[in-house]
Structure 1
Amino acid sequence: MKTHLELAQLFKTIDCWSTIGTDTQYRVLEYSDEVVIIFCPSNSKADWKINFSFPKKPYKRMKTPFYVHGGFLKEWKKINDHFLKEAAAYNKPITVCGWSYGGAMATLCYEDIWFKYPQKRYIIRLVTFGSPRVIGAYNFKKIWVRWHGANLYVNGSDIVTEVPPVLFGFRHVAKTKHIGGKKFLIGYFKPKKYHHIDGYIESLGDVTCKTAS
């Protein structure tokens, strides 16, 4: 299966993305040992980073209710059937991966597969780079297992990973993995340096080198 660095590098090597829904770009890549469902950042002019959409329930008649960012959920509900059918078509491990807005879609995609296909829960993994917060904090302790083992990377002072704010009731679905330099206030105003996938690739490469030495 691809390493996390190799997954990040895919964003540089994929030339043609498929578009679905409003503006969700993705690819489904099949390899000998896994299937990768990968979501890239949105090209929409809408500033989703400051979308103050209220949290909403993702399913009806929920035994344990939890909430999801309304804006991301609205887009996911437009496209989820497509990805559930894709997941059902494969019997090999599935990696769901996303960068930026794509990280939000990947987070919801992973949970939907986990929820709809219990038999696949031990062969799916989630890896995101610079993803915003997607899930509401309410009742999260009761449903955290849905994202058990998720890998959420934060590079340096990537401000996108700080929205929507915790004060608005949102949280990441797992403890984030911090790579690159330490967070500092001025760094939040340098999104090209810390949020771009090049920065993630460089920082992941540094981690790989340190681990190997």
Structure 2
Amino acid sequence: MHEMERYFQRCLDASYTTESNDADWAVERDGDELLILFEHSRGSLDWLNNLNFHAVPYREMHPIWQVHAGFLSVWQAAKPAVAEAVEPYLSLPPAKSAVKRVTVVGYSHGAALAVLCHEWLWYRYPFWRAVLNGYGFGGPRVLYGCPTPSLAARWAQFRLLRNNDDPVTHLPPRAFGYCHVGNLLQIGDGATSGLDSHRPENYLASLRARNL
């Protein structure tokens, strides 16, 4: 199994903890790698948050930037528990920690949370920036407005994967002022379209076809 397929499968198979606001997260250690995982939409509250797409300021970060209100509210519900789980590993620099690299992974709704978690880790743990990576599979747009180059650089090691014309990756519409961050990787051979392209089995098939 290749790397991106392995990460996606781990995200699908994880045993998630649910916080308030249906914030589903998991932290797993795999040898010297720390994995932080976020689950896809699975209930009506998730969808209400997905559709709560007015922009709000993310006041905890510097500089303050604008973000999808629903995704921010879910991330803020998960963040205290995630912080408690990762602190024993990340409070020390990689040379002194039991783990040597950190990977954030999310699918669909969870990919939006992965975007926010990745940036929080970058901001909170500067010693770990060189070994911090992120993957968002079928993720929607999260940031409102065009980020400055210095802000966009926080996601330099985050990859957003889009299978064919997966409609979720086009929401909220760019015309509403939202944008993707990180590096967009297009996969798929055109065999699926619409919401079929968003299905996990079709992401897996496209990853396998590309040996990713």
Q: How does 1:129-208 map to 2 (within 5 A)?
A: 129-182=137-190, 187-188=193-194, 191=195, 193-208=196-211
Report which stretch shifted further, 40-49 or 198-207: 40-49
Q: Provide, for residues 18-37 of structure 1, a one-character-per-residue CA deviation record: whole Å limited to 9, x for no partner.
A: 21221122221111120111
Instruction: Let me know the Cα RMSD of the aligned residues.
Output: 2.2
Does the C-alpha gap of structure 1 residues 8 and 174 become closer, same or farther in structure 2, counting only changes over 3 Å? same
Q: 1:120 aligns with which of 119, 128, 140?
A: 128
CA distance in 2, matches of 1:127, 1:119: 20
CA distance in 2, matches of 1:100, 1:136: 18
CA distance in 2, matches of 1:121, 1:70: 26
Does the C-alpha gap of structure 1 residues 121 and 194 become closer, same or farther in structure 2, counting only changes over 3 Å? same
Q: Which runs of 5+ in 1 are unaligned?
A: none
Q: Which has the higher strand share?
A: 2
Q: Secondary structure at the match of 1:94?
A: strand
Q: 1:94 aligns with which of 102, 107, 116?
A: 102
Please say if residues 187 and 207 of structure 2, whose CA atoms lie closer than 8 Å, have aligned partners that are also in contact: yes
Q: Secondary structure at the match of 2:32?
A: coil
Aligned to 1:33: 32
Q: Provide, for residues 122-170 of structure 1, a one-character-per-residue CA deviation record: whole Å limited to 9, x for no partner.
A: 1211011000000122444331111112111000121000001111111
CA distance in 1, matches of 2:61, 2:116: 18
Matched letter for residue 65 of structure 2: F
| Structure 2 residue 138 is the aligned partner of structure 1 residue 110 | no
Q: How does 1:13-32 map to 2 (within 5 A)?
A: 13-14=13-14, 16-32=15-31
Percent identity between matched residues is 27
Matched letter for residue 159 of structure 2: N
TM-score, normalized by length of structure 2?
0.86
